[in-house]
């Protein structure tokens, strides 16, 4: 499985609406709001590497994908 391809997802209409409202309220682009929320919710790259048993390396994931 390639880990460096762009993500595409489908979200519910209510979540979409809330994300867009939050972006408007913060006067930020939707992508910045999403990155901020995902950054808060996801474990750090080091934690994920240890879960994967990679001792600090995440397979072939580019640095910008785990930053």
pLDDT tens-digit series, residues 25-51:
999 999 999 999 999 999 999 999 999
Q: What is the pLDDT of residue 8?
A: 75
User: According to the model, what pLDDT value does residue 46 have?
Assistant: 92
Q: What is the DSSP string of the chain?
A: --SSSPP-----HHHHHHHHHHHHHHT--HHHHHHHHHHHHSPPHHHHHHHHT-TT--TT--HHHH-
pLDDT in tens, 16-27: 999 999 999 999
Q: Are 46 and 54 in contact (CB under 8 A)?
A: no
User: What is the reported pTM?
Assistant: 0.64
């Amino acid at each position: 499985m390639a880990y460096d391809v762009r993500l595409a997802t489908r979200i519910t209409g209510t979540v979409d609406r809330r994300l867009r409202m939050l972006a408007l309220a913060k006067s930020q682009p939707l992508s910045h709001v999403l990155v901020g929320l995902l950054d808060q919710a996801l474990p750090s790259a080091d934690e994920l590497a240890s879960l994967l048993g990679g001792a600090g390396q995440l397979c072939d994931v580019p640095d910008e994908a785990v930053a």
